[in-house]
Structure 1
Amino acid sequence: MQRTTRLKRELQLLSTEPPPGISCWQTEGQIDDLRAQIVGGANTPYDGGLFSLEIKVPERYPFEPPKMRFLTPIYHPNIDNAGRICLDALKLPPKGAWKPSLNIATVLSSIQLLMGEPNPDDPLMADISSEYKYNKQLYLEKAKRWTEKHAIQRNKGVEETEGTALGRLDITCRKRPALHSEEHQDDSKKVFM
């Protein structure tokens, strides 16, 4: 019960005061099965990309961290091909930094920061980490190509606003209707500045 109450409160806060460039919603009425989207930051190889994530909230939340993974392929030393993320906030101590005072919005913001500032000393992808350290220009080119191939095409259904031209896109958190439902299709494409 405590988990459900807390999740409802967190989702409400994400809906009314979302972190810039982050959206989150529950799937098909499942409070413990969430989806999120992170807009790639300006001045990063992920700029202009819209990256989808899956969030599974465990029974013992907030005493255990949520399980998060990228659904959109991303070229990054701390994110593997299955979308798993190497981030201390997603692991329990002593190896991790998760604590019950953290929340989903905080972790999503941390992932957004990690996208712009990889940690090559704690990689999931050793080859990409090595490239980041020793041939950063090649890493940046490949990451940008992956973003263009996998993350920008998913952005085609989003209405463009002045903010997207500036590379800054703020998306609100909302409970998503089924995308195939015609009556809700226009609402699911809205982007708010």
Structure 2
Amino acid sequence: MASRRIVKELKDLQRDPPTSCSAGPVAQDMFHWQATIIGPNDSPYSGGVFLVSIHFPPDYPFKPPKVVAFRTKVFHPNINSNGNICLDILKEQWSPALTISKVLLSVCSLLTDPNPDDPLVPEIAHMCKTDKIKYEATARSWTQKYAMG
């Protein structure tokens, strides 16, 4: 079941990729993908290229993708230093109706609109809420340092 669904999602992604995202299997392992997300223009991550790894559990799509993590360092209240992402659809809000394409779009949208009220990194969330200019400048600086070649 899982591998058929994953192959279908891969074909759908290749036919109709989400804006600023691409993804596919690493080597020939259909359960381990790497995605590329281009930082949204209307965010401090603009111009950055962010690598994200995705691991599918054997019972996908009934369980969410196991590890969706940024491989590129990113300064964000909902993404920690290990690249883990705090996103409700990867946890309790997961539904088998969701796809990797929708997950990637949600991650892109998180780059544009961080959620400092449900942070993974409280210090960055605090800065995001109390000093937006400093937060955006730091996020831009990290993007230039780690996500722009």
* TM band (smaller chain): over 0.9
C-alpha distance in structure 1 between counterparts of 2:142 and 2:17, whole Å: 26
**C-alpha deviation, 1:10, in angstroms:** 0.2
Q: Which residue of 1 aligns with 2:123?
A: 127
Alignment partner of 2:127: what SS? helix
Q: Which of residues 106, 114, 117 in structure 1 aligns to 2:113? A: 117
**C-alpha deviation, 1:43, in angstroms:** 2.0
State percent identity of aligned pairs.
40
Q: Which residue of 1 aligns with 2:70?
A: 70
Q: Which runs of 5+ in 2 are unaligned?
A: none
C-alpha distance in structure 1 between counterparts of 2:143 and 2:64, whole Å: 27
Alignment partner of 1:69: what SS? strand
Moved over 3 A (4+): none
More strand, by proportion = 2
Please give the residue correspondences for 1:1-193 in structure 2 after superposition, counting only pairs within 5 Å: 2-66=1-65, 67-91=67-91, 96-153=92-149
Q: Deviations over 1:120-159 (max 9, x none)?
A: 0000000000000000000000000000000011xxxxxx
C-alpha distance in structure 2 between counterparts of 1:88 and 1:150, whole Å: 26
C-alpha distance in structure 1 between counterparts of 2:32 and 2:42, whole Å: 32
C-alpha distance in structure 1 between counterparts of 2:96 and 2:10, whole Å: 16
TM-score (norm 2): 0.98
Larger Rg: 1
Give the aligned residue type for 2:70. Answer: F
Aligned residues: 148
Q: Deviations over 1:72-124 (max 9, x none)?
A: 00000000000000000100xxxx20011001110010000001100000000
Give the aligned residue type for 2:45. Answer: Y
